[in-house]
Structures are given as C-alpha cells and as structure tokens.
Chains A and B, each alone.
Chain A
C-alpha cells in the first residue's frame, strides 16, 4: 500500500522533466491496488458478501485487458477454461418449456443485496436483448435474438449452442458482457432449458 503511494510520487516528480520514471506503477500494480481498495470500500449486505469482490481468473484477466485489445492466446485460454466448466444436461435434453422461459427472461430480480435470497431469480434477458415482438421494452447491450430458432435452424446443434452460451458465455466469446448464468449459479439447469425452448421452439413468440 505504502509502496504504491511512493511510486506515484516518483512518477509525478519526474513527469515535468519528461524523464519519466522507471518505477511508475504498472497496470498490474494499479489493478492490484484497485482490488485492495475496493475490498476496503464495501461491506457485506444480505446475500451479497465481500467474497463477490474476489475475482476468478476470467474476471481478473478481463479486468486487466479491459482497455486494450485482448491478445489472441489469452482469449483462447479464457474460452477453453470456461468451455471446460459447462455442465451439459445429463439426460441430453436441451428443451424445457418456452412459457416458463419467457418468465425467466422477464424476471429482473435475483442476487442483489436488496432481493429476497429465497427468490425469485431471473435471467433478465430483456434488459439487454430483444426477444419477441410483443415486448417493446428491451435493451440493446446484447444483439437482438428475435427469430433465433428460425434463423439458426431448429436443430440439436442450435439447442446445444444456446444452452452452452447461456451456461457460460465466456466459453464462446472471451470477456463477454453476458453473465455466466449456469457457471455462476444464477440460473438452474431447468431455467436454462426453459430459455433454450424460448429461443428455439417453433411455438415460442421468439420465432413467431
């Protein structure tokens, strides 16, 4: 802690002379210090404990590379790591009930310290994605998923991709903005199956 402050002093003292400072804090040092200060700046509240600030390898790397291009080898490593974490359904059934999937997609509650820890917990998909024509209140951080099944084909391959992507988005796109819903135990296996149905079932409003 003390060391970092001194390093900053060094960087400042030399900046005017355009000499630079050989020991100016590196990005890794700033990241470490930021993580430590964050840890001292939060308190546990309900279901949201301080352990939520402990980054796993994926979160740490995505933070480190947030403001610069993600090197190809790092991206591949992150995707491999996350792909290995996907728990595929034991019975090979990808499809649940699209009607329940729509409820999961609409539900924004879950995991906030202000939420009831007993539930409900949703995927809040509409916060970021367009899914159906009926719901006009949708966000645009993620791509539109309208006609997902119609455009990609009602096949096992499509269903498996949708299941894996919802379980762990970083397996397909390193440092995705999308939460890892299965990996991080936000949604249950059944909820994810229901979302796969919402996306791929020909009867779902996503494909109507």
Chain B
C-alpha cells in the first residue's frame, strides 16, 4: 500500500465518520421527538372511555338468558374483578382448561348468558364503526388490577404445560420469512425502524411489556387487548391468522404473563 492510497483511505474514513455523525444527530433528534410525543400522550388516556363502557357491560343483564357477569368467576370468586387479571391465565376446573381473560369472558358469555360460542367470539377487535364488547370488558377488568403485582401460578399440570408450550412457541420459526417471536424480542436495545422492541426473554423486558397491555393505540384509535397484540405480531410474522382464544394464544400469554410475575400491573396504557 502506498502512502498516497493510505492517505486516501484515511480521508475516506474521516468523511465516513463525519457523515455518520450528522446522521446520528438527525436520528437522535427524531428519537427525542418520538419520546416527547409519547410523554405528551400520558396526559390523558381515552382508554377510560372503554373502561367505563366495559363496566356498564359487566354490570348489565345481557344475552339470551339476560344475566350479568355478576356470577362470572375470573378466578377470584363469582363477580370478583379486583386484582383478577394479575393472576391470569390460570387453570379453571369447571372448563378443565387454562384460560386467559378473553377466553374466560367468552366462557361466561356462553355458559351463563346463553350466547352461542360463535356469537360470543365474533367481534373480538373493534374497527371503524364497529365497537367490540370484548375490548371494553377487557379494559374494565384490567383497570381493576392496576397497581396489583403480577402473580401467575404454575401449580396445575396444565398450567405447567401451557407455559412450556408457550416458551417453545415463542421460538417457533415458520412462514415465508422464518420469523419467530424471538427474531424481534430476544435481544436488548433493538429496534424495527425507530420502534423500540422489548426483550421478552428477560424478566425486566417481559414485565415492562406485559404490564402495559391492553393499551389505547393512538395510531388506530382503538383499545387493543393482549389477544390483539399476539394476532397482529403473527400477521407481521407472515403467519396465517391466529384464532381468537386458541390454545396457542393462551400458551403464549401464559409464558409472557408468568415471566412478568412480581411487576406492578399498569394498564390500560397508551401507546403510539
């Protein structure tokens, strides 16, 4: 290597570093702006509207049998809402199945209120001009666990099974792109574009993420549940459509909820 080419190389390297510094500045100011935007969002959370509607639905007689959720047992006794979400999913002997909140709500709608299974599940996620009762109920029930410590048990064999299956599903690679949940959520400090990604394989990451769902999504104008979070992650993973309240959805929820144990639940939250 001649002195001239070496000098040229140094000059090129300096130019690269200089340009990179400019880009780094542009990006850090973009990240700062996003942080300011997120902070501004915390001033008021429209999730309260979903919580109020959900409370109304919870307390009103409904369905073919015209009964309310007062007899619905979320795991802490009939009609008890306070702190219930922080201990879900769990095994329910009456259904002989591990259930998350959404699955249990559907169970109560079918067994107590007299809905057909398909009717109870037909509108899990709201959209323009189409409100979801499930989302409102989830907003209300979860709001009653705000501040409670996550305390998900792994006592029953089926609870252990759901956790083990959820852990394996988290790393299951499939689809056209070979993506698993772990592709995006197994390392600290990573981003997609400018969106920060939680590392869900650490306790701190799982706690921060799980305790802030459900959330009002500003970009969608909707309150989104954890079932929705999984459904939309799998859509972006290029998988087929995750079935609402399916065994895989419950197993993955069990895996993440259990990993969040010990953290104070803090939702419904608000996200971009």
Contacts and interface: CB of A to CB of B under 8 A. Distances in A.
A138 interface: yes
Interface string B162-194: 001100110111111111101110010111111
A146 B18 CA distance: 13
Interface of A: 4-5, 8-9, 11-12, 25, 30-31, 33-35, 37-38, 40-45, 48-50, 52-55, 58-59, 62-63, 66-67, 111-114, 126-128, 133, 136-141, 146-147, 150, 170, 177, 179-180, 184-186
Contact of B241 (A25, A111, A113, A150): A113
A13 B235 CA distance: 39
B128 interface: no
- Interface centre among A9, A59, A66, by most chain B C-beta atoms within 10 angstroms, is A66
Given A37-B251, A40-B247, A113-B235, A25 B164 contact: yes
B179 to A, nearest CB: 7
Interface of B: 12, 16, 19-20, 22-23, 26-27, 30, 157-158, 160-161, 164-165, 168-169, 171-180, 182-184, 187, 189-195, 197, 234-236, 238-243, 246-249, 251
**Closest CB pairs A-B (n = 3):** A41-B248, A41-B246, A66-B171
Contacts of B173: 55, 59, 62-63, 66
Contacts of B172: 34-35, 38, 55, 63
A49 B173 CA distance: 15
A62 B172 CA distance: 8
B174 A59 contact: yes
A63 to B, nearest CB: 5
Contacts of B243: 41-43
